[in-house]
Structures are given as C-alpha cells and as structure tokens.
Chain A
Amino acid sequence: MRTKLDDTSLIRKILDGDKHAFKEFIEKYESQVAATVIGMLGPGPEAEDIGQETFIRFYRALSRFRGESSVGTYVTRIAINLCLNEIRRRGRRRTLYVSNGEERLEAVAHKPGTEHQDESSRLVNLGLQSLDPKFRTVIVLRLIDGYTTRETARILKLPEGTVLSRLARGQQKLKEILAPLYKDEQPISRDGP
C-alpha cells in the first residue's frame, strides 16, 4: 500500500513521469476542484468535463509551475479560468441570465442533474447559477473554497477592495434571488406532491 505523499514529493514524482502519483494528486484535489467548478457551473456533465480538463491542463503545465503559490491555488486558478471561459461560451450560445428573476430560477431548477441533491445544496446552486459570474467567482472562492480575501484577490488578479465589495454585493444579490424561495418554505420541491 502506498503512503500519502506531500505536495512537493507528489509534484516531483509526477514530473518524473509517475502516473500513480498523478492519480493520487487528482484524488487529493478532486473535492476542491469539484467545489469550485460545480459552484461556478452547477452540477452536470459540463462541470465534470471542466473538472477533468483542469487536471489535464495542470499536468501539461506542471513543468512551468514555479511554486510561487501553493499547488491548490494553482489548480484553482486553472479551474476558475476554464469555468469563466465556459460561461462566456455558454453566454454566446444562449442567454441564461434573463432579466426576470423567476425565469432565471426556473431555468436553473430544470437543469438536469439538480434533482437528487439535498435541499440546501440545491438552494445554493440555484442562487449561485443565477448570479452574475463576477459576483459568483468571489463567492465561490471566498465562501465555498474558503480562500481568504487576499488569496481570492491574488487568484483573480483583482485589488482586495474590489473583492470585498463584490463579495458584499454578491451576497446581497444572492439573498434577493433566494428570497422568493425562502418565503415559500418548500422552495424547490416544485415537482413534489
């Protein structure tokens, strides 16, 4: 049985071409990348695709990794950039963010893959997917991934003040979006009896 390696040893082994070490790396960072990607894109096959792409890009860019940030931050940055590209691509394909809040929620509530999640997770997803990406990004990094405001600012290459104001505005908007659902008490069990 293999013992768990620290990041430095893992990276060294991956650079030496050890595929098992890369698999171990994926297993170690899957939950972090999943939280970021699913937070940004919502659950579903597109999110998994971006998750896979994140690790593949990381693998290919590893020789250029200088260790200026932690490996986790580096992977998150790749994931966030891929998510933002995907959101831009989606935006070109179809406009999800229509002006009416109810329509936005409907659009997300009927996305495949949201049926079997627990209530709070569904509620979070509903709200997040209706948020403008610039607010969604800071909320995902700061409140879901648990990065500090400074780390969030560094990942997004934004001033800390901007991160703080987007965070506040994002939370306010999220509250507004979720308000009708809070009021109903059984907000998302629309398909129930």
Chain B
Amino acid sequence: MIKKTLRLLYRSFECRLSEREQASLEQALERSPELRAEKERIQLQREMLSQGPASSFGPAFAERVMGRLDAAETGSNGWELFYTTLLMLFRRFAIAGAVALLLLLSYNLRLGDKLSSEEIFFASDATHEELKRLPLF
C-alpha cells in the first residue's frame, strides 16, 4: 500500500479532504481490496476506542475524593498550627537573644578604645588558653 494513500485514508477520518484528494482516495479504494480492508480495520478500531476503556472509578468515588480532601485540609491545618506555635515560641527566644547580643555589643564597645568587629566581639588578642581561663568556661 502506498504510504501517501494510507496517510490520506487516515486523514479522511479527521478532516474534509480537497476534491482532488477525495477523488484520488476513492479511486485507490476502488482499485485496492487491501486498502478497503484497511479502511474497515481503521473504522473498527476507532469504534472500539470510542467505546473506550472503563469510564468509572467504581462506586462512591466522589465520597472517596471528598474524604481525601477533608483529610488533606485537616492535615494542612494541623501542620499550620504546629508551625505557628513553633514560630511564636522561637520568636520570643530570638527577640531575647537579639536584645542580649545588643547589650553585650554596646558594653564591649564602651570598654574598647577603637571601633572594630574584633573589639565589639571581644576577640581581639584572646588565645585559646585565655578563653579557657574566662569564668564562662
């Protein structure tokens, strides 16, 4: 079977062919029993497909979707509550920490005679041994 004619045959199921194409296809169909059989096969296959595979997910599908949606919403609400609580809790610690750090920095700044990050953080010449001697350790 000529590829071009076969392509024309498939196209004839989808769109209107031009008069010339239609005439050429009809001629080919008249001449070739093989092409006629192919046309029947295509028709049969298209019918089978249009009847399609199963078109249902089984009984109570809508209820299952609603259940899943409700569960997802409850779940997301639960997580939301957890994160909000966590955020509120840590916000207090974070604010307290930031205030303490600011106080420390201002204190160090007042003690030191120059404005550098080392002075501010009290880490100018401190060695490991000196740090160990500090009451903090």
Contacts and interface: CB of A to CB of B under 8 A. Distances in A.
B33 interface: no
B137 interface: no
B7 to A, nearest CB: 6
Contacts of A43: 53-54
B66 A51 contact: no
Interface in B26-59: 41-42, 45-46, 48-58
A155 B76 CA distance: 31
B126 interface: no
A144 interface: yes
A156 B72 CA distance: 29
Interface of B: 6-7, 10-11, 14-15, 41-42, 45-46, 48-58, 61-66, 68-69, 72
A144 B46 CA distance: 9
Contact of B53 (A23, A35, A48): A35
A59 interface: yes
Q: How many A residues touch the partner, as a band?
A: 35 or more
Nearest to B38: A175
The 8 closest A-B pairs by CB, nearest first: A168-B10, A26-B62, A143-B49, A31-B55, A35-B55, A38-B53, A144-B52, A48-B57
Contact of A35 (B52, B58, B61): B52
Interface in A31-58: 31-32, 34-35, 38-39, 42-43, 47-48, 51-52, 55-56
Contacts of A52: 57, 61, 64-65, 68
Nearest to B62: A26
Q: Classify the interface of chain A: helix, strand, loop or mixed.
A: helix
A69 to B, nearest CB: 21
Given A23-B62, A26-B61, A48-B61, A128 B53 contact: yes
A117 interface: yes
A123 B68 CA distance: 32
Nearest to A182: B41
B39 to A, nearest CB: 12
A75 interface: no
Given A23-B62, A164-B11, A175 B50 contact: no
Contacts of A139: 49
- Most chain A CB neighbours (cut-off 10 Å) among B42, B58, B69: B69
Given A143-B46, A174-B45, A34 B62 contact: no
Given A35-B54, A56-B69, 9 more contacts: A23-B66, A26-B65, A38-B55, A48-B58, A56-B68, A124-B53, A144-B50, A167-B10, A175-B45
11 contacts: A23-B66, A26-B62, A31-B55, A48-B61, A52-B65, A55-B69, A56-B68, A121-B53, A144-B49, A167-B10, A175-B45
